[in-house]
Amino acid sequence: MPSNVGSLKDLDSEDAFVNVMFQEERNGETVNKGNDSFYDKFVEMASAKYADPAVQGASSLRQLYPNHSLVMSADYGLNLTSLPGASALPLSPSELVTNVLFVPIARRLGSVPGVLLDNIVFGGFKVAWNTYDFIIYTARWQIGFSLNVQHFILHEGPEDAAREFILAAGIWREQLHDEIWVFNQGFWNKDHGLWTEIQKADWKDVVLKDKFKKNLQKDIYGFFASEAVYKELAIPWKRGLIMYGPPGNGKTISIKAVMKSCDEKGFRPLYVKSFQSYKGEEGAMADVFDKARQLSPCVVVLEDLDSLINDRNRSFFLNQLDGLESNDGLLVIGTTNHFEKLDPGLSMRPSRFDRKYLFDDPDRDERALYAKYWQDKLKDNKDISYPDSLVDEVASSTGKFSFAYLKEVFVSSLVLLAGFEGEHKPDFASVIKGQIKALRQQLDKSFGTFGFTPVAEITSPHPEKAPGRDIRALLDELSNSIARTDNDPPRVYTTIADVPGQPRYNGAPVRMLLDALSESAGSAGWRSAAPSNRIYTTDVQGSADTLPMPGSMPRKCPPLDDGRSRYASEMYKPLPPSP
């Protein structure tokens, strides 16, 4: 017990020592004391008044206008002084603070190179709208990297009038006025230029086979007309289409025609340029689909789908397209020149993109339709002779031409004709034939380095088995392109025409023709290795490791998985010459 008493006394002594060191008596109270002068200065500076212009402005205006209600809005998208139906005058022009901006104007729109716009930094206005009068102050100020906008709306009476005014301004902002919603760089903007551009498009200018065009139109317009059917079947009212095919064959003009016609029917088109955004691609996708759900029923256009969707954002995109959230009323149309690059989850699965429409290079019938389309456009031009025979000739001589190439045939011909004057002006037929020839040479260069010439139409020797383009004609062109010397063996086969004295393989399977071509190419020096080092194999199997081939050494091919050998080709004999 005595020891405990001693310990308590010692503890009291220590507490007293601490109090002496760090505390002092002030007005009968014990307070902490310190001699750090920097601490006092830091506290003083850190305790400075906080600047909040919105709060300060509200307080000042309530004192200046005690009989007015005050409604505030920080919506930077509202333009309260230029709302249709409202008139605004500055309270004090000398105290109006603005930034003047120069906005250039396209030269083709007029002789004025540009206009000046005043961007309000601070200003007060008398505004009359509907049956109400307002005093509106607008102020902008910078905080960090952001620009704050604050509107103060004063009304002598209840604040309902000011709220109604803000509602009208917001509705006007969200409405389209000869504009198209465009999403780019993380923001939605209303684009009048794009709206103007799509007004030039019309389905009558989309040159496609009538059945194909009607099926596409029924798929689009039928979707919007069949909401009740979807609801009755208890399936989501949404649909996806992909337009694909080589460039220049009508995808873009078809999209323009779709956007124009849907807009006229009240189904808003939303055009997505890019998913690149300050929010990241996933944030941009969320913004796109949120807007689409807000405006549904609507059309969402994703041009160059293979560029928009990548490995990083694919999963999130699929979730937005076919996830848990409702996409009722959304028609999503994607376009691509490279269908093979699309993820199978996009290209092959219904309920995401349900139908695919191939916009391929036009066949002869479609080329004739396009030539006839231009004949109708030029029928009132007395300086141009465009008979039906020229329509047939253009259609027959433009094989492998896309619609873009066909358009260039006519546009370049008309431009050249416009440059001629006097008696030496050529006729339209000769000019258009010259342009076809020039474009043919340009097109040939895009077919690679084999040196074969694309032909207008290839007639299959067996049309019932191989409709359309015949691969054997391509093999003929490849064989013709091989550089030969006098010591090289003659060409080993022909497919479409017979050559006297040469074997004929017209009815041979494709792999036999490939074997023959390989032998010929090997003899002609395409490869430095001996012909026995074949670079491909077929499906023929046997029991021995080698198989003799006409004109070559036996070849050994890689074994199959079960240990058996397979061979480069099979034995074959030339067909007898045609009688």
Reported confidence tier of residue 465, pLDDT bands at 50, 70, 90:
very low
Reported confidence tier of residue 480, pLDDT bands at 50, 70, 90:
low
Given this model, what pLDDT does residue 442 score?
A: 86
> Whole-angstrom Cα distance, residue 414 to residue 427?
11
More confident call, 35 vs 94:
94
Query: Can you tell me the mean pLDDT for 129-148?
Result: 92
Given this model, what pLDDT does residue 422 score?
A: 67
| Mean pLDDT, the chain, integer | 79
* CB environment 390-417: b (16+ within 10 A), e (fewer): bbebbbebbbbbbbebbbbbbebbbeeb
Ordered DSSP codes for 119-149: EEEEEEEEEEETTEEEEEEEEEEEETTEEEE
Q: What's the whole-model pTM score? A: 0.67
- Pick the range with the lowest mean pLDDT from 120-129, 155-164, 557-566: 557-566
- Pick the range with the lowest mean pLDDT from 70-84, 98-112, 475-489: 475-489
- Checking if the pLDDT of 115 tops 80, the result is yes
Query: Can you tell me the mean pLDDT for 434-444?
Result: 88
Query: Can you tell me the mean pLDDT for 558-562?
Result: 43
- Checking if the pLDDT of 195 tops 60, the result is yes
Reported confidence tier of residue 10, pLDDT bands at 50, 70, 90:
low
Check: CB of residue 287 under 8 Å from CB of residue 186.
yes
Given this model, what pLDDT does residue 548 score?
A: 40
Query: What's the CATH number for 190-358?
Result: 3.40.50.300
Query: Can you tell me the mean pLDDT for 179-193?
Result: 95
How many CB atoms are located within 10 Å of the residue 505 CB? 21
Burial of 181 per CB tally in 10 Å (0-12, 13-18, 19+): buried
Pairing of strands 180-184, 114-129: unpaired
- Checking if the pLDDT of 36 tops 90, the result is no
- Checking if the pLDDT of 1 tops 50, the result is no
Ordered DSSP codes for 65-110: -TTSEEEEE--TT--GGG-TTEEEEES-GGG-EEEEEEEE--GGG-
Given this model, what pLDDT does residue 521 score?
A: 56
More confident call, 473 vs 304:
304
DSSP state of 113: -
Q: Report percent pLDDT > 70 for the chain.
A: 70
Given this model, what pLDDT does residue 29 score?
A: 63
For tokens 């691969």, name the residue.
Answer: 471
Query: Can you tell me the mean pLDDT for 423-437?
Result: 89
In angstroms, what CA-CA distances link 239 with 141, 314, 352?
A: 46, 18, 7
**Of the candidates 397, 393, 427, which has an alpha carbon nearest to the alpha carbon of residue 413?**
427
